[in-house]
Every structure is written in C-alpha cells, then in structure tokens.
Amino acid sequence: MSTNHAVTPSTPTAPSSAIATLRRATWPSHQRLEKRLDVKARFSNRHAYRDHLEKMWGFCAALERQVAPELFTEVLPDYPSRRKLPFLTADLLALGKDLDSIDTLAHCVGLPACPDTASAFGCVYILEGATLGGRTLLPLVESRLGITAQTGASFLASYGENVTSMWRAFGVALDAWCVDQERTASAARAAVETFDALEIWLCGAPS
C-alpha cells in the first residue's frame, strides 16, 4: 500500500522457491496498484486514514472468512496470530468507531475461493507481504498524524520487531507445502486474484 512494497514483499528469494514464484506472478498487479494508490492522500489526515482502514477492514473480513483456519493447522500453526482483522478492529475503535458501526462495514467481493491449502497460502501471501510495507508506513502515520501502534496503527505495526522473522517463517511454510508445480500454480493463481480484488476494492475497476 505504498511505493515501498506495502502490499507485496521485496525481500530477495531464491529463484526456485515457491514464494519467489508468487512474487513474480503478482508483480504486474503490484506495479499497477502502486500507480493507482494515492498514499499521500490516504494518509493526509485522520479522517482519510480511518477511511482507508475501513476499506482494509472490509478486505480482511472477507478474506479471513474465505480462509478456513483448519487448512493451516499442520502447516502454519500460528495462523490465528497472523489474522489482521483484530488489529484493524482495534485501530478503528481507537479512532472513534464503535463495534456496531464496524460490523456494518461493507465486505470486499470478488475474492478467490480457497478450497485447499495451496490456494489459502496464495490468499494469505498478500496480507503477509503487507506487513513489510506497514513497517515503512508506520513512521509516516506517527509523524504526520500523531497516531502510534497503541492509538490506531496496530495494523501497520502488525508483528512489531518480529515482522522479518514472521515473514521468513511464512515463506518456509509456503515452500514446504508447495513442493510441486500444481500446488505452486494454485497458490500463485490465488495470490494474483486476491491482489487484483484488492486493487478493485481500493481503487475501483481499472479503466
């Protein structure tokens, strides 16, 4: 969600890894969203920032509903702690929303189905990559809006100092599961479809 790879990660990976395949597959979508997403406007004031968080809440609410936790029970056991919706809910509460109004927020449509673990990895890849970008956006929100991880920016702060280790652990789990072309292709397809759904949700359909 920024020009610093806020949606997909820029961490170098081995060419043969599944996570590198996902990054290559989503790169065109990433580039297109980077051009369309006006980060300066979205972080220009508290109202615009809250509007952006509401959109991200609607995206994560829909995505996390698509991804059945049991798909990750054996392969990514810490998945429950990786869910982004609790962070976004806490941030919106800190910024003046109440639970009733949050529950009425619109949910993103057009997300891919996640019938298997490979496709679930592809969907979650987008949000896990966003944690890296959030780390670059947090100082901007702190300096420009006076909002910290404790007062409305916990989504951007996500895993705090554990962002890098959490990302690496996700990559290890993804590579361990996507051991063949079929699984890797399924994960890459879901990642692209998720990224494209995010673009339409945040910016509208491309002209």
User: Could you read off the pLDDT tens digit of each residue along the chain, which spans 207 residues?
Assistant: 443 334 444 444 334 699 999 999 999 998 898 888 888 888 999 999 999 999 999 999 999 999 999 999 999 999 999 999 999 999 999 999 999 999 999 999 999 999 999 999 999 999 999 888 888 899 999 999 999 999 999 999 999 999 999 999 999 999 999 999 999 999 999 999 999 999 999 999 887
What's the rounded Cα separation, in Å, for the pair 39 and 32? 14
Give the pLDDT score at 13: 39
pTM of this structure: 0.89
Give the pLDDT score at 40: 83
What's the rounded Cα separation, in Å, for the pair 77 and 97? 32
- Where are the domains positioned within the chain? 18-203
Give the pLDDT score at 10: 40
Give the pLDDT score at 16: 61
Supply 44's token pair: 């220009």
> What are phi and psi for residue 95, nearest 5 degrees?
-95, 10
Fold classified for 18-203: Heme Oxygenase; Chain A (1.20.910)
What is the torsional sign of CA 114, 137, 43, 2? Answer: negative
